Homo-oligomer: A and B are copies of this chain.
Amino acid sequence: MHEILIEEKILARNNEIAAANRQALSERGIYAVNLVSSPGAGKTSLIESMTRHLKDQSISFAVVEGDLEGDFDAKRVEKHGVPALQITTGRACHLDAHLIEHSLPWVLKHEGLKLLIIENVGNMVCPAEYDLGEDSMITVMSTAEGDDKPLKYPAIFAASEVLVINKTDLAPYTDFDIRKARENALKVNPYLKIFEASCRTGDGVKEFAAYIAKLAITKRSLKNT
């Protein structure tokens, strides 16, 4: 019972900080997404692939990267001329609102920012429980992972607004059934907006980027009315 009580307190405190983060980002008209997936599903590649499309739509954005160690992902993103901040979590298997709170001074110093992409630690379990203050959580799953993932890791699919089925170029070489993956995901969360994408071929990335751009523009315009 003690363990559960402590966990509830930690989550309650996390939610308070997340609400403050959300408020701070909203006041500046910045749309925030929390990108989650298992390790290696292609979150960083997706960000890299989206860059050109977001720039085409004049969406100025920054990236906060969460990893246990190293700054590999931040460096990859920066190569595309996108500002990126690396957070290392050490032994923690997810980002939390407190870590994002500490990144906000860096985020907010960028003038005219319309979008903040937070790339969480690769983990299909714990990030589902930790609100960061984002506007939407986006789960990425790859066709190399198995189409039963939504049924085996339901919490993260239930907590997400958007699902990107990534690496569609690999589907012909795996047993992954995209139709079945969609069905399984919608069983867990009937409100999921689902995209299919391949960062290698570029298929579907433009459509996904356009969707995110639209959300960011809508938030900005709501703020200005």
Q: A152 near B70 (CB under 8 angstroms)? A: yes
Contact pick for A123, options B124, B154, B169, CB 8 Å? B124
Residue tally, chain A, CB below 8 Å to B: 39
Sample (5) of A-B pairs whose CB atoms are under 8 Å apart: A3-B6, A3-B10, A70-B151, A170-B170, A173-B173
Contact pick for A72, options B72, B123, B151, CB 8 Å? B151
Q: B153 near A39 (CB under 8 angstroms)? A: yes
8 Å CB interface, A51-69 against B: 67-69
Complex Cα–Cα for A97 and B161 (A): 35
| In the assembled complex, A121 has its CB within 8 A of some CB on chain B | yes
Complex Cα–Cα for A215 and B155 (A): 38
| In the assembled complex, A40 has its CB within 8 A of some CB on chain B | yes
| In the assembled complex, A125 has its CB within 8 A of some CB on chain B | yes
Q: B145 near A91 (CB under 8 angstroms)? A: no
Given contacts A6-B6, A68-B152, A123-B124, list 16 more A-B pairs with CB under 8 A: A3-B10, A38-B124, A39-B146, A40-B141, A40-B142, A40-B145, A68-B155, A72-B151, A91-B125, A93-B93, A93-B126, A121-B125, A122-B153, A144-B170, A169-B173, A170-B170
> Closest residue of chain B to A147, judged by CB?
B40
**Given A40-B144, A91-B129, A124-B123, A68 and B154 contact (CB-CB distance below 8 Å):** yes
Q: A93 near B125 (CB under 8 angstroms)? A: yes
Q: B40 near A151 (CB under 8 angstroms)? A: no
A121 contacts which chain B residues (CB < 8 A)?
125
Q: A152 near B67 (CB under 8 angstroms)? A: yes
Complex Cα–Cα for A122 and B129 (A): 17
> Closest residue of chain B to A148, judged by CB?
B72
